[in-house]
Amino acid sequence: MTLLSVLDLSPVPDGATTAEALANTLDLARNADRLGYNRYWLAEHHNMPGIASAATSVVIGHVAGGTSRIRVGAGGIMLPNHAPLVIAEQFGTLASLYPGRIDLGLGRAPGTDQLTAHALRRSLSGDVNQFPNDVLELLAYFKPAEPTQRVRAVPGEGTNVPVWILGSSLYGAQLAAALGLPYAFASHFAPAELDHALEVYRTRFEPSEYLDKPHVMAGLNVVAAPTDEEARYLFSSLQQAFVNLRSGRPGKLPKPVEGFEQQIDPMAKAMLDQALTCAIVGSPQRIGQGLEAFIARTGADELMVTAQIHDHAARVRSFEILAEVHGLAAMSAAAE
């Protein structure tokens, strides 16, 4: 049965602080742990007023320390922002503190605007083009050190932290296939190349020391509520956030509004219809139907579910409904 995991952007709701957002993250992670979700991933974004997970490895440590079973990781670390050795040390430390529970997803986008990218001390062209070599360097740091190796990741060496390639285009699919690594597609915000990318990854996959066959994860927005009407109302927060971001006005996660789609112009409506194609919004029955259809379409081994909901209690409830619909409790019991 397809595994379910959680992607949390640590949203900062309108009217809240980053401290409150991070407290919400830990509470959601504890609920995800209780409900039987497989992983809990956090994402690296910078200069975003509505996202509190910029220091991603720090937040991962906080979440891992506050949970007991669930795997915790990055979805992802934007590797061109960092020296591979630094990331190897950070995630080697996490893996040493929480053995068998840490994942590292890697992306090649900056996760921010150009000005902020330069403030992070990265070259917009060279470092991105260096991404495959940086991935290989990072993988090597996680292996047992060679006797003649002069630069070592301590902590890091010998931890063999599981590494994933993330992507929203064919580039990541090709790289993950060539390296024999698991692949996660960001269909929750960039769904256009989903089917093609999964086909490329699966057909070109080369077995490796990490995987003997392809392993696919697909991103999915799910907003569940007792009724379709309430779910659509809650979903309007994400819709507003997308319009604001694409209009150059990023901010905190807006409060939901009634009838938001009827209030926007056709161009914004078309943008939302394209960007949020991979979204299931509604009552438990609608969630179940949508989930079944998306799994049949993608054949994904795992779904990485995100829910940008302004009210934290409603967000927890959404993940509870999804867990019940998908039978996570039964899956967890069978696995024990």
Which domains are present in the chain?
A: 1-161 (3.20.20.30), 215-326 (no CATH)
β-strands 216-224, 302-306: how paired?
parallel
Instruction: Map residue 13 onto helix, strand or coil.
Output: strand
CA distance 123 to 98: 33
Tens digit of each residue's pLDDT (9 = 90 or more) over 152-172: 999 999 999 999 999 999 999
Rounded mean pLDDT, 170-193: 97
The alpha helices in the chain, defined as continuous H runs, are: 18-35, 56-65, 84-97, 114-119, 126-129, 131-142, 170-179, 194-204, 228-246, 266-275, 284-298, 312-326, 328-335
- Inform me whether the pLDDT recorded for 122 exceeds 60: no
Distance CA 112, CA 46 (A): 5
Tell me what pLDDT residue 117 has.
Answer: 72
User: Residue 267 pLDDT more than 80?
Assistant: yes
User: Is the pLDDT reported for residue 90 higher than 50?
Assistant: yes
pLDDT at 114 over 90: no
pLDDT value of residue 126:
46
pTM value is 0.94
CB 234 within 8 A of CB 310: yes
How many other C-beta atoms can be found within 10 angstroms of the C-beta atom of residue 296?
9
Q: Check pLDDT > 50 for residue 45.
A: yes
Alpha-carbon distance 8 to 24, whole Å? 10
For 124-152, what is each residue's pLDDT tens digit? 454 557 899 999 999 999 999 999 999 99
Segment 172-186 shows an average pLDDT of 98
The per-residue pLDDT for 128 is 59
Neighbours of 115 (CB within 10 A): 8
Average pLDDT over residues 27-53: 96
Q: What is the number of alpha carbons within 13 Å of residue 76 lying toward its C-beta?
A: 26
The average pLDDT across 247-271 equals 93
**Would you say residue 111 has pLDDT above 80?**
no
Query: What mean pLDDT, rounded, does the chain reach?
Result: 94
- How many residues comprise the chain? 336
Question: Tokens standing for 56?
Answer: 């991603």
49 pLDDT higher than 90 = yes
Query: Cβ(272)–Cβ(243) under 8 Å?
Result: yes
